[in-house]
Chain A
Amino acid sequence: MMIPFRALVRKDLLLFLVDRRALLTSFAIPIAIGSFFGYVLGGAGDRPGQGKISVLTVDQDRSVISNDIVKRLTAEKPLDVKPSTPDAARAAVRKGSAYVAVLIPPNFGQNAARAFFGPEQKPEIGVLFDPSHSAERSMVSGILAGDVMQAVSKEMFTGPTGREMVKDSLAQVEQSPFLPKQDKQPLEDLLRSVDRWNQQADRKGSGETSRGLSMPYTTREEAVTARQNIKYNGYAHAFAGMVVQFVLFLGIDVGIGLLQQRQRGLWKRFRAAPLSRGVLLGSRAISAAILAFVVVQVNFLFARLVFGVRVEGSMLGFLGVSAAFALMTAGFGMLIATIGKTPEATRGLSIFATLLVVMLGGAWIPMFLFPQWLQKVTWVTPTRWAMDGLEAMTWRGLGLEAALGPIAVLLAFTAVFGALAVARFRWEAEG
């Protein structure tokens, strides 16, 4: 039985090697798309300015406060801030060349100062944003709130505007006929104390004039990857996604190939020989698994050599996940062969189903963008487990134990697909 089994497997491998389209689909295309997505997703983490949010500022106030706000925004690491005009900023956001524009209106500094202590109406800062980047808008709003608070408070406590405001307020309190006596005295004491503190700061020099409200904490950010000093590599995710997608396409080709063999009468020749069904289908499944495994390894080898994607975790786990995914692909391919009667009818449906599970598996876009219910759905897709397994073994750098779950689930999918394929397979050749 081994001679026919070996020959059938060898035949499938030979057919793959002489099929330019299959080679292109399995190697060139995933490498090209993986490289592109990897670059877009941050590359190897070594590009200056990558991932910064493009922000335009329109300062129509030109006050000390507005200047300080713009200066602070410009110093923020996550932002790429450029000055603009109202019309140009609006046009840029509409076109999508800037995600957010911050419009500081005339007299903002003066009005903000008044509103800081008093009941005056608060001035508005216009925030124009690209609705397709609402996450970036939220981020910029948060940063802007902090910077405005610091700029205004600094000016109010130590700047010329604040001093003027303190003196004006003291005069108003002293002359007010409406304030009760028990309130007037403490307010006058407070304002005189602030005024004295300002005068004292002036005498000490400019080094003491930069006070104001500030954040009562700082953050220490650390990307948690495999080990310290190992940067997140966007190519690892991109190549995992593309490998998953195009290996599944290989699975479709396996199924379609079986249907074509039936259509071309080859199945009759195979069935006429004294071969068991196990040899006929088993050889096809094994050859498909071998091809899928090789495709995974070659694609990741390219990513390793060109983009530095390493298996930072368990190599055994990586090979295990690859093998389990390859077997699952083989089972998937065999199932494809049982779906339709003709290759033409089956191909379209299979590609649609594959793209769906690939998308749900997070191969295209990160899963955190999905609604919660959809994220739960992804657990029932084999692609999710393949992605998790490959990512765990590459840039996350986890150990073998983290691969065991994905391997077990992928093997379970293999068993289900295989059983369904055997149950549904039409053994008899048409008369």
Chain B
Amino acid sequence: MLEVDALKKSYGNLVAVNGVSFQAGAGEIVGLLGPNGAGKTTTVSMIAGLLRPDSGSVRIEGRPLSGDTDPNKRRIGLVPQDVALFDELTAQANLELFAALYDLDGTAAKRAMREALDLVGLADRAQERVRNYSGGMKRRLNLAAALLHDPQILLLDEPTVGVDPQSRNAIFDNLEVLKQRGKTLVYTTHYMEEAERLCDRVVIIDHGQVVANDTLQGLYRLLPVTNLLAVELERGQDGLRLDELQALPGVRSAKIEAGTLRVGVQDLATETPRLLQWLVERGHLYRHVVSERADLETVFLTLTGRSLRDS
């Protein structure tokens, strides 16, 4: 169990992290979602012991983390945002070094390297220099390097930046396996799609503060509307009475944007046939109907008033 309590870190007048708290349990993936500069990496750095917090605490299995040589650090594996590898060396030489940092050598190190390389699918490329790897392979090796000492908690700081979709999926599969093994994963990202796909719980951070901390379903419940129906009308608004539409049972909101009617409904299965019938009866023919589910982007927008992508 990882417990982060009221972490705070300032650089001069700039408050980078302001009272961040959350918990992460075994077999759980917790996402730290926020725009660039929100304080995610600083938070992860404090958890990993790279930065000393101004205040607050990090506890691992109930014990606080303190000092450079705290044995509790062995319970943490860090996957830095940068590809933190020696390009000039082979993958094996890199892993031998990183295993040795945790006092692993000889047979134990070899076994750990084999398992890590097997997991990320690079066992047959271990003797190649990292500089010859593709970006995706480097990212996978970056992950493997953090797993050698079999940490209970894995801190992943934007581990898929700049990788192709195939490698990204491979990394996601690796993380799913780790989750199934009961590891605790803290995953920072500014990609809402990644958080939605991977995370059991999402901590939304903005300007160094936690603005929400819940499961995906819990976050969606924060929204006034969770399901949207987009109806592309043949003649645009053309006498459509939005006030009458909004008065229908189950309809939460209705507006027209560029000839497309967007209706927020409580339940798509029930409300969709009724809505389409209502439109046809009043002579409003439509070309195309698409259902849209509310996403984390909408949640972030609702909570902060800003778009995650634009932040």
Contact = CB atoms under 8 A, between A and B. Distances in A.
Contacts of A4: 100-103
B100 A265 contact: no
Interface string B58-90: 000000000011110110111011111110110
A276 interface: yes
Given A271-B49, A277-B68, A3 B84 contact: no
Q: Which of A11, A276, A277 has the most CB of B within 10 A?
A: A11
Contacts of B46: 431
B100 A272 contact: no
Interface in B1-46: 9, 16-17, 39, 41-42, 45-46
Given A14-B89, A268-B50, A431-B42, A275 B101 contact: yes
Given A3-B105, A7-B101, A15-B89, A272 B50 contact: yes
A18 B48 contact: no
Contacts, number: 100
A272 B73 contact: yes
Contact of A265 (B74, B77, B83, B103): B83
Interface in B251-294: none
B86 A11 contact: yes
A268 B80 contact: yes
Contact of B101 (A19, A273, A431): A273
Q: Which secondary structure dominates chain A's binding surface?
A: helix
Contacts of B69: 274-276
Contacts of A19: 88
A277 B100 CA distance: 16
B181 to A, nearest CB: 21
B38 to A, nearest CB: 11
Interface in A1-38: 3-4, 6-8, 10-11, 14-15, 18-19
A419 interface: no
Given A273-B73, A274-B69, A428 B50 contact: yes
Contact of A269 (B68, B80, B88): B80
B100 A268 contact: no
Nearest to A2: B103
A373 to B, nearest CB: 44
Given A3-B103, A428-B50, A428-B51, A265 B97 contact: no
Interface in B177-234: none
Interface string B83-126: 11110110001001110111111000000000000000000000
6 contacts: A7-B101, A15-B88, A265-B84, A272-B76, A274-B70, A275-B68
Closest 4 CB pairs of A and B: A265-B82, A7-B100, A431-B42, A265-B84
Interface of A: 3-4, 6-8, 10-11, 14-15, 18-19, 264-266, 268-277, 428-431
